[in-house]
Structure 1
Amino acid sequence: MERNSSLAYRLLPSFGDLIFVAVLCSLYFTAKSPLLSDGDTGYHIRAGELILSTGAVPRFDTFSQHSPPIPWIAHEWLSEVLMAATHQWFGMSGIVAASAFLLASTGYLLFRSLRSSPAGVLLAGAVTLLALASSQLHWLARPHLFSLLFLVLFHHLIEFWHRERGNRLYLLPPLMLLWANLHGGFMAGFILLGAYLAGNLASLALAPASEREGLLGKLKQLSVASCACLTAALVNPYGFRLLLFPFQLASQGYLMDNVSEFMTPDFHGQLPFKYLLLLAVCVLALWRKGPEPTELLLVLGFGYMALYAVRYVPLFALVSAPVITRGVTEIAKRGGLPARALRERSERLSRIDARAGGIWSFAALLGVAAAVFYGRPSHAFDPGQKPVAACEFLMRQRISGNMFNSDEFGDYLIYRGFPSYRVFIDGRLDMYGSDRLREYNRVVHFEKGWDSVLEKYRVNWILFETKSRFARHLLQNQDWALVYSDPVASIFVKKTQEHERLRAQYQALQASSL
């Protein structure tokens, strides 16, 4: 009987299993995965293929038509190599599966990290779900998913050491070595280290003399680990320039003010982040003992980043989760009967959760692996969002000359059209810089001198969103002729003999489809 009972418990899914399975399966087993709603995935794949074919990390851009080539720090080069290899073996379905696995692992590890504290399964599960919902706005098949996973790992290891549960700081430098070559978000790891260094320094200054020796020893340990991480981060193809890259990006004010990822969050929409932020404020206000200096620095530092730019919201969600969990646990200790009853229920569930096996996560992994192998479902860019049909037209007609394209379409153009076509602009706005973004915006907003920008770059054809103001303007412009259009994208060429040939081809294509 006891053996049967033990087996029954092991067949139960743990709460961590439920999070892992729910995230993995919901992101993969959908006809149109939300992970492919951004075209950047395409250029990352082609960049990885370029590295694999040349055996070298690029120093200059090869995907755009600009001459001389623009200097390019491909700070995500290792991620791009992994994405290219995955795409080569398993296609876009493999990319979706790998991205879903990274996000599912992030959620699972965050929950396990919160459970390693005194928090019960109910509180840890609720905070994990809220943190994941807040970070969902950046769930895209792009290299930054590695940063989300590594941030949780980094934070857990430092917190594990900080709470004196064991010293695994020696794992930080090798993790930083990987992180720095996977994605530029590795700077978040140094922000974590800086917060813990500053917090421990504040604790040392405020501590009585009897405790200072132990705190000084901890400060030295973390300082050594931080120096080792800095050394590890320098082991990359670009050396110290990779460490300067985030600061150079942040210094471009026009870029920060005109790229959606760098704009402040819109609190008018359905944004779980606002509830997480309010929860964090309430916890800090009601926490009688108060957070430690380190915890306060983490909430304030990453909170400021999240309020400054929407791209940092996922970082705040993952970093604030342990602080919120510890604060709610402390607040609940002085609660009345309802809090005590909830705590007792959570403790019973925690005991059951601790005995549950991990079979369901493994089964979900096998299921997704089998689905990728058999190609069901088959994932690809949504032709209702990306210029799939327009690019097929381009590949058949081979329009010559320089293009001007939507920045949203540039990444897909690289994926589908390179090397036959080279773009005017794409998602690598950090590489193009503020000046080219100004020129791009001058054109699409019809600012004074917009046509001179097209002349400067010798543009003779344009690919843009069909429903955009820019496309509607070109329809009325006597210098440009529409040669292709569908609900997503339209192609315009300068009025020449060439445009008559293309228009005839397009009309023939329309007639054949009727």
Structure 2
Amino acid sequence: MSDQVIRSGARPFPVQAALPWLVGAGVYVLLLTLGPRLLNDPDSYSHIAVGRWIMAHGAVPASDPFSFSMYGAPWIAFEWLSEVIYAAAYALSGWAGVVALAAAATAFAVALMTRFLLRELSPTPALLMVMAAVALLAPHLLARPHMLTLPVMVAWATALVRGMDRHAPPPYWALPLLVLWANLHGSVVLALGLIGPAVLEALLDGKRSEWPRVLLRWLPFTVLGVAACCLTPYGPEPLLIPLTTLGLGDALRWITEWRPQDFGHFGTFELLLLAGIFALSRGVTLPVVRALVLLGLMHFALAQMRNADLLAVLAPLYLAAPLARQFGARAGDDAAGPARGVNLTAFNLTALGVMIVATGLALARDVRPAPQNTPAAAVAHADLATAGPVLNDYSFGGYLIFAGIPTFIDGRGELYGGPFIARYNRDLSLADLPDFLKLLEQYKFGATLLAPDTPAIALLDRLPDWQRVYSDDVAVVHKRRAASKQ
């Protein structure tokens, strides 16, 4: 069988040509309908606050300006561009604008993926792969910088994979995508890692005598890729952020999205994993490099739940051409030329119209972040802005930054470090009661703002120096008695 991708001689019919954008429009409308679901993460607050700080100061921070526990410590806003974009969307349209922006970025990424898959596969398998990808993305579809990075990731990966499929030279035209990626999100090191499979497949597809020529062809591209990733306000520092985060060690298990996959309950990830195993048992085979890529993505997804995003977005791209070579790709009949153009335009205009109407309706909605991350009533009732240092729940850190109240801890794990996070969780769970009492005195807290199910609350209720001053379903506030009498 030829190494070239099997394609039908028939041109795609109008619906298939418009299908990527129809799929994108459908995902966009779906995400707008689920608008509040995209605001379920406390870091959405802090990302907007950081963006507002950058716009107000006309510079990116080099040290922490938001906490009291780490104030002035070295810290970089490695997702600064995403944060500025989110802050601008919030300034223009409030939380509804933030949701619309995140939904549009995700929908565009899905449309790009669908478009690529339809070049190799017929609509049915392509749409099944897209549906699986969206299902894997669902738990992590949150208004955070990674969602703005998704279309850039897809565009970069498709440039590399298309070159692998066609035995083409390195896609130099795609290098500007790395500059954008490096300023949007700290995962840009992954973009450099994706160059590896392209080089390896080029080596394996050629004779050993051609290996030096292949390496020399890819070396300048790789060097320029590294240089592009360094074009940030912080130079190459964002490239090291993943290593800093992974360096948190055991502290990562306290953060839900960094935990390994949980197979204690049957879920989407397990369902798709079993479906993949079943497909392999039916005779699906992959070239060695594509198999290695799939195994690598599977390892990342199993190791940390958040990395299921990578499996969802990248695996279909690397699988498309091998599956097309193995099973063939069929396209429907084409319509006549002029009629095809009219119909295609009509489909695209329909998709655009649906998106415009959905955007208008979404912006008119009163969309707000999840109540469990928004202790607004507790902060106002207890006047925490003037209470002195506040021992806050991890999930309240984003809101406090947004409200202008210095935090003890928040979602910036790279700032606080593993030992700090581990001590915080150990003490508030009362696993080390003496150290919790030491913590209260060490930082001279004037108040605590904790989730109702925090074990430390029961102890604070019994400590003579502390008094509960507010509680609701979201948060419980204690103040030092001396501070409450002032």
Q: TM-score under structure 2 normalisation?
A: 0.88
Which residue does 2:397 correspond to in 1? 410
Which letter does structure 2 place at the counterpart of 1:451?
L
Q: Counterpart of 1:80 in 2: which secondary structure?
A: helix
1:406-435 Cα shifts (integer Å, max 9, x gaps): 0001101111x20xx201001111211112
How many Å apart are 1:331 and its aligned residue?
4.8
Give the 5 Å matches for 1:39-54. Answer: 39-54=42-57
Give the 5 Å matches for 1:92-107. Answer: 92-107=95-110
Which residue of the other structure, out of 364, 369, 379, is the alignment partner of 1:381? 369
Question: Any conservation in 1 of the 2:170–2:218 contact (CA below 8 Å)?
Answer: no
Q: How far apart, in 1, do the equivalents of 2:70 and 2:129 lie?
A: 50
How many Å apart are 1:298 and its aligned residue?
1.1
Give the 5 Å matches for 1:361-372. Answer: 361-371=351-361
Distance 1:491 1:13, change over 3 A: farther
1:106-153 Cα shifts (integer Å, max 9, x gaps): 111111111111x10000000111011011111000001133222211
1:27 aligns with 2:23: no
Which letter does structure 2 place at the counterpart of 1:202?
L
Number of residue equivalences: 466
Q: How far apart, in 1, do the equivalents of 2:274 and 2:189 lie?
A: 26
Give the 5 Å matches for 1:166-315. Answer: 169-204=171-206, 207=207, 213=210, 219-284=215-280, 286-287=282-283, 290-315=285-310
Which letter does structure 2 place at the counterpart of 1:153?
A
Q: How far apart, in 1, do the equivalents of 2:38 and 2:53 lie?
A: 23
Which residue of the other structure, out of 62, 65, 68, is the alignment partner of 1:65? 68
Distance 1:62 1:189, change over 3 A: same
Q: How far apart, in 2, do the equivalents of 1:68 and 1:384 lie?
A: 26
Distance 1:123 1:359, change over 3 A: same
Q: How far apart, in 2, do the equivalents of 1:80 and 1:219 lie?
A: 38
Which residue does 1:495 correspond to in 2? 481
Question: Any conservation in 2 of the 1:17–1:360 contact (CA below 8 Å)?
Answer: no
Which 4+ runs in 1 deviate beyond 6 A? 9-13, 349-355
Q: How far apart, in 2, do the equivalents of 1:403 and 1:350 lie?
A: 66
Which residue of the other structure, out of 414, 418, 442, is the alignment partner of 1:430? 414
Which letter does structure 2 place at the counterpart of 1:297?
L
Question: Any conservation in 1 of the 2:446–2:480 contact (CA below 8 Å)?
Answer: yes
Which letter does structure 1 place at the counterpart of 2:355?
L
Q: How far apart, in 2, do the equivalents of 1:102 and 1:167 lie?
A: 29
1:229-262 Cα shifts (integer Å, max 9, x gaps): 1011111122222222222322231233332222
How many Å apart are 1:294 and its aligned residue?
2.4
Which residue does 1:6 correspond to in 2? none
Which letter does structure 2 place at the counterpart of 1:444?
L
Distance 1:224 1:279, change over 3 A: farther
Which residue does 2:9 correspond to in 1? none
Q: Counterpart of 1:264 in 2: which secondary structure?
A: coil
Q: Counterpart of 1:441 in 2: which secondary structure?
A: helix
Q: Counterpart of 1:371 in 2: which secondary structure?
A: helix
Give the share of equivalent positions with the same residue, in percent: 26
How many Å apart are 1:330 and its aligned residue?
4.7
1:318 aligns with 2:304: no
Q: How far apart, in 1, do the equivalents of 2:452 and 2:140 lie?
A: 26
Distance 1:52 1:270, change over 3 A: farther
RMSD: 2.7
How many Å apart are 1:219 and its aligned residue?
4.6
Which letter does structure 2 place at the counterpart of 1:426?
D
Q: How far apart, in 1, do the equivalents of 2:71 and 2:374 lie?
A: 29
Q: How far apart, in 1, do the equivalents of 2:146 and 2:368 lie?
A: 20
Which letter does structure 2 place at the counterpart of 1:45?
I
How many Å apart are 1:167 and its aligned residue?
5.8
Q: How far apart, in 2, do the equivalents of 1:122 and 1:414 lie?
A: 46
Question: Any conservation in 2 of the 1:52–1:81 contact (CA below 8 Å)?
Answer: yes
Which residue does 2:466 correspond to in 1? 480
Distance 1:67 1:98, change over 3 A: closer
Q: Counterpart of 1:141 in 2: which secondary structure?
A: coil
How many Å apart are 1:10 and its aligned residue?
6.4
Q: How far apart, in 1, do the equivalents of 2:154 and 2:479 lie?
A: 49
Q: How far apart, in 2, do the equivalents of 1:427 and 1:67 lie?
A: 13
Question: Any conservation in 1 of the 2:152–2:181 contact (CA below 8 Å)?
Answer: yes
Q: How far apart, in 2, do the equivalents of 1:349 and 1:400 lie?
A: 71
1:377-426 Cα shifts (integer Å, max 9, x gaps): 121123355213223325x56432111000001101111x20xx201001
Q: Counterpart of 1:358 in 2: which secondary structure?
A: helix
Q: How far apart, in 2, do the equivalents of 1:227 and 1:106 lie?
A: 27
Q: Counterpart of 1:78 in 2: which secondary structure?
A: helix
Q: How far apart, in 1, do the equivalents of 2:226 and 2:256 lie?
A: 30
Q: How far apart, in 1, do the equivalents of 2:291 and 2:369 lie?
A: 42
Distance 1:172 1:77, change over 3 A: same
1:123 aligns with 2:118: no
Distance 1:237 1:28, change over 3 A: same
Question: Any conservation in 2 of the 1:97–1:368 contact (CA below 8 Å)?
Answer: no
How many Å apart are 1:166 and its aligned residue?
6.2
Which residue of the other structure, out of 12, 16, 22, is the alignment partner of 2:20? 16
1:354-375 Cα shifts (integer Å, max 9, x gaps): 9643223311331244335xx4
How many Å apart are 1:350 and its aligned residue?
8.8
Question: Any conservation in 2 of the 1:480–1:495 contact (CA below 8 Å)?
Answer: yes
Question: Any conservation in 2 of the 1:287–1:331 contact (CA below 8 Å)?
Answer: no
Question: Any conservation in 2 of the 1:466–1:489 contact (CA below 8 Å)?
Answer: yes
How many Å apart are 1:177 and its aligned residue?
0.6
